[in-house]
Amino acid sequence: MSYKVLLFYKYVNVNKPEQIIGEHLNWCMANDIRGRVFFATEGINGTVSGKNENIEKYKIYLTSFPEFKNIWLKEDEAMENSFRKMQVRLKNEIVHGNLENVSVKNGGKRLTPEGLLKFYKENKEFVIVDARNWYESKIGKFRNAVTPPMKNFREWKKVVGEKLSDYKNKTVVTYCTGGIRCEKASAYMVEKGFKDVYQLEGGISNFIKKFPDTYWEGGMFVFDERRVVNPNLKEEIKHIAKCSFCGKPTSYYINCHNVDCDKIIVSCHECKVSSEYCCSDECRASENKRKTFHG
Ligand SMILES: [Zn+2]
Ligand SMILES: [Zn+2]
């Protein structure tokens, strides 16, 4: 395989991010790096893909900025570019959660994948909470996880107040895809008086790379062309979601191709084709459908 997907983020003071973005975009275009990178005064967050040698160059470029010297990076191999375009944007928050005033300094204690494995193996009493959206946890989750029905991360404050307040005096572990959402999700819980909060270091992607076929069940939803990463070989935990048309176990999803609907549909490959990439007759009949099949 000659392509890589690179995930990275860092909460760090960035001076005048608006002055960095143009040059960053130009560099990426010139080196055929695709994906998205968000800058804010609170840090950087990105997922990019490219040929191995270009990703190597990008890592050198990125870490040449003093702020990003020790940035957390994660690499996955890929068959092709996982993105079609390159975007570099200026944001208020590197993950939109209306948590501007929450300090990552208050974040939960870092729990390594080894640490979480030990919690499970020793039957420790703990509550594991999914800090992702409902459609992400539908495809896959940790064993016994609490999966709040969040539409997006901006609902986290509400979820903590309405769904998690019973766990204030328990040991709580939060997790998300790569760890970035948990920095503030766990900090917000600590600031709200939760006594013993951990955050899974490097997120699900770090855990499943080290310990597939253990306590992660189903696929991991990703926001790029790969759509889903399936780490498990054991049949019983390979897929936890079911095709919404035929009921067959699957981890796959598409967005309804009626642009006005765009609903996420869990679907096996056969049914997505036979349903013409739409959720209903109404959507199939729509005038406003995507021009090309995608997903
Ligand atoms: Zn099906
Ligand atoms: Zn639809």
CA nearest to 252, candidates 237, 235, 240, 262: 240
Which-ligand-closest: CA of 290?
2
The count of other CB atoms within 10 Å of the CB of residue 130 is 20
Length of the chain as a residue count:
295
Spacing, Cα 122 to ligand 2 middle (Å): 45
> Which protein residues have their CB within 5 A of the ion that is ligand 1?
243, 245-246, 248, 268, 271
pTM reported for the whole predicted model: 0.90
Measure 273 CA to ligand 1 centroid, in angstroms. Answer: 9
pLDDT in tens, the chain (295 residues): 699 999 999 999 999 999 999 999 999 999 999 999 999 999 999 999 999 999 999 999 999 999 999 998 989 888 888 899 999 999 999 999 999 999 999 999 999 999 999 999 999 999 999 999 999 999 999 999 999 999 999 999 999 999 999 999 999 999 999 999 999 999 999 999 999 999 999 999 999 999 999 999 999 999 888 889 999 999 999 999 999 999 999 999 999 999 999 999 999 999 999 999 999 999 999 999 998 888 8
- Burial letters for 156-194: b for 16+ Cβ neighbours within 10 Å, e otherwise? bbebbeebbeebeeebbbbbbbbbbbbbbbbbbbbeeeb
How far is C-alpha 77 from the chain's CA centre? 17
Q: Are the C-beta atoms of 72 and 11 separated by less than 8 Å?
A: no
Q: Which residues are catalytic?
A: 176
From the CA of 277, how far away is ligand 2's center (Å)?
9
Could you give the maximum distance between any two Cα atoms of the chain, in Å?
A: 56
Cα of 148 vs centre of ligand 1, distance in Å, is 26
Q: Quick one: which ligand is closest to 263's CA?
A: 2
Task: Specify whether the CB–CB gap between 121 and 128 falls below 8 A.
Answer: no
